[in-house]
Amino acid sequence: MYPPRVLAFPAVLLAASLAAPAVAASTAVKSDSPADTPVDYAYALPLQVNGKQGVVSLRLPQTVYLKARTAELDDLRVFDAHSMVQPHALYRPPAEQPARHGVLAARIFPVRGGASTAASRAPIDIDIQTRSDGSVQSVQARTGRVPDRDRAAISQLILDFGPAAKGDDNDPLRIEALRFQAPSGQGSYSAEVWLETSDDLKQWHTAGVAELSWLRNDGAQTLASDRLELSPQSFRYARLSWRRGEPILFPGITAETVKPQSSEPARETLWIKPVAGRQAGDLVYAAGVALPVEQFSLGLQEANIVYPMALGAYVERPSRQAGKTTEWVFQPRSQATFYRITQDGQTRRSGAVGIGLGVGHQQEWVIRPLNAAATAQPELGLSWQAATLIFLAGGTPPYTLSFGRSDAPPLNRTLDQVAPGFTPVELRQLEQAQVGELQVGRSGAAAASAASQAAAAARQRTYILWGVLLLGVAILGGMVWRLVRQMNVGKEA
């Protein structure tokens, strides 16, 4: 009689055990739903556009980097008014190199008593006297016997643009053209001039040639060709000679200069205050996994301080100590020495230090002082080049930039799939979307992220399994109690 009752327990337990995976499976299907709507993301930024352009850009604000939950910004989405995803690409424009233009006036020294025209091209021996600083003091032709009528005739011009024309190694200067001023009262004029350049007044190099001309009409209007263009180059001295036309003394000659700017990209910097680390002396700085850190710096407030340090992160690994399963260890990524020193009334500060490729994404950064006695707690500055989001405004405005979902699949496209055929200049001139205030969740409620849903599903599965186990224990206890009672009844009989 009793065995059938005993076998009833495994059947019940088996049914309960099968029910648990079924519930868990239904939850997993729900969490892996392919739906991609604004409510699936924890944060949103309204985007304002004029609605007239098909391609719009947005330089990603700092908030996106701090709130995004994927290192490569895979959780960025641009939704239109109907929650339709708009194609987008992430673009880091090359560093612009705008040039600074200026002018330098030349000191002009005429060479008289020689000839350098089409009629006579014999070389002219010139005696040039200079001062200790290299500036030209006097110029005189040494051509032997010269007819009296030619003693006052101009054959060449020596130009001195001064030491500023060379710039320096860190800030080079280049001359790209010379501009000539016509003499007062000069009528129509035409000539072919040749330009040679030098850095020491000994070695000369042909640099360019130009047709100079002025044409005045009865109304005192002038049509002028008064510019000699060069390939940008550096020189201090120049020599001007005529191959055609009459040599004249120009009242003014100026050099048009150009200085290339630094090619460093524009970066943003986030300053973070420290908290105590897991190990004594360590300082921890909470950042964001999406920050593509390229450089770091320290804000030292103490006077006359030298601060050698290592920058890295904590890494969890299996513990080598008995009784512990895992442990946190410091893994250095970069080392540097920062300082703030006052000397002769001037404060010297260390600059930013670069971080190696592939190590710039960390949820938190750790500083370990290399001086065990260090007590300073400096702020950490993290610098990066913000990407430009370029999206195709093909939906219905208004648009929203959503982010904050750890399991979002990447939808970032290549630039030629969003703005095909656009040049770098056109990309820089795209309309810039205006960003509204950050919204947490949708309709005033925080949207549950996929990570929190997965955690809730895991907790639900745990509760079900514990319930099944407790139910099995209760049934087993009841059966044991009934068996013991029946055995006692049999003994009494």
Render pLDDT for 260-281 as a digit per residue (tens, 0 to 9).
Answer: 766 677 889 999 999 999 999 9
C-alpha angle 122/127/130, rounded to 5°? 145
Q: Which residues of 196-232 are buried (b: 16+ CB within 10 A; e: fewer)?
A: bbbeebeeeeebbebebbbebeeeeeeeeebebebeb
User: What is d(CA 135, CA 112) in angstroms, rounded to the nearest whole number?
Assistant: 20
Instruction: Using pLDDT thresholds of 50, 70 and 90, give the confidence band for residue 69.
Output: very high
Rounded to whole angstroms, how far apart are CA atoms 286 and 436? 25
For 162-195, b/e burial (b = at least 16 CB within 10 A) is: beebeeeeeeebbbebbbbebeeeeeebebbbbb
How much is the pLDDT for 20? 45
Alpha-carbon gap, residue 111 to 153, rounded angstroms? 8
- Predicted local confidence at residue 263, as pLDDT: 64
Burial label for 156, CB within 10 Å (0-12, 13-18, 19+), is buried
Residue range 405-424, pLDDT digits in tens: 999 999 999 999 999 999 98
Closest CA to 110 of 8, 204, 12, 248: 248
Q: Per residue in 326-354, pLDDT tens?
A: 889 999 999 999 999 998 888 899 999 99
- Judge whether 386 and 59 are in contact, CB under 8 Å: yes
Measured in whole angstroms, the distance separating CA 16 from the mean position of its chain's CA atoms is 57
Asked, as a colleague might, if the bond just before 398 is cis with ω within 30 of 0, I would say yes
Q: Is 276 helix (H, G, I), strand (E, B) or coil?
A: strand
Q: Does residue 171 surpass a pLDDT of 90? A: no
The owner of tokens 């939850």 is 27
Which residue shows structure tokens 């959503």? Answer: 402
Tell me: pLDDT of 5 over 50.
no
Q: What is the mean pLDDT of residues 120-130?
A: 73
Distance CA 214, CA 190 (A): 7
Q: Is the pLDDT of residue 463 over 70?
A: no
Beta bridge partners of 125: none
Residue 93 in tokens: 């424009």
Q: What is the DSSP string of 397-439?
A: S-EEEEE--TTPPP----GGGTSTT--HHHHHTSEEPEE---E
CA atoms within a 13 Å half-sphere pointing along the CA-CB vector of 83: 8
Q: Name 325's Cβ contacts closer than 8 Å, sequence gap at least 6.
A: 318, 319
What pLDDT sits at residue 470? 76
The three-state secondary structure class of 321 is coil
Would you say residue 146 has pLDDT above 90? no
Q: Is 0.85 topped by the overall pTM?
A: no
pLDDT one-digit tens code per residue, 363-380: 999 999 999 889 999 999
Q: What are phi and psi of 272, to 5 degrees?
A: -125, 135
Position 272 scores a pLDDT of: 96
